Amino acid sequence: MVMSKGIEDKQSEVIEILIEMLKWIKVTSIPHVKKLLMELLPSDEEKVAYHYSDGRASQEVSRLAGVSYVTITKWWKTWIRAGIAEAISVKGGERAKRVFSLDDFCIEVPQIKGVEVKKKEAEITKEEQKEGIA
């Protein structure tokens, strides 16, 4: 089906308007989202757990955050209800994936004492591979 020039022009205009609206929504939402993140992630452990909630298993996130996996699953439920994480289905249940990056809101991801963060092979950058760091 061939669209007439008028319909294409209208669609382009609507897309431009939507892009402009998205810019404004992002700018006006940043302070509110940062406040929400700070309220829902008051402890260092919660910030670390949220940061690593990218589809990883609760056991791995719990190890990185230094808390029990039961605590992680409780936090995930709270974050999903609040809209700062989304549920993802995996074999054997559900996990959570963060919606926002803490870095985008200038929220530091603290280091938990006694917890060593190991890079996965897939996370090693090409530069590190070239330099032989990894």
Instruction: Give per-residue pLDDT as tens, 95-116.
Output: 999 999 999 999 999 987 766 5
Average pLDDT over residues 33-55: 97
- Beta-carbon contacts of 34 under 8 Å, excluding residues fewer than 6 positions away, are 105, 106, 107
What single letter denotes the amino acid at residue 122?
A
pTM score of the predicted model: 0.73
Average pLDDT over residues 117-123: 46
**Class (C level, CATH) for 9-131:** mainly alpha
- Beta-carbon contacts of 68 under 8 Å, excluding residues fewer than 6 positions away, are 62
Domain boundaries defined on the chain: 9-131
In the predicted model, is pLDDT for residue 124 greater than 70?
no
Whether 110 and 44 have beta carbons less than 8 Å apart is answered as: yes
In the predicted model, is pLDDT for residue 128 greater than 60?
no
Q: According to the model, what pLDDT value does residue 117 have?
A: 58
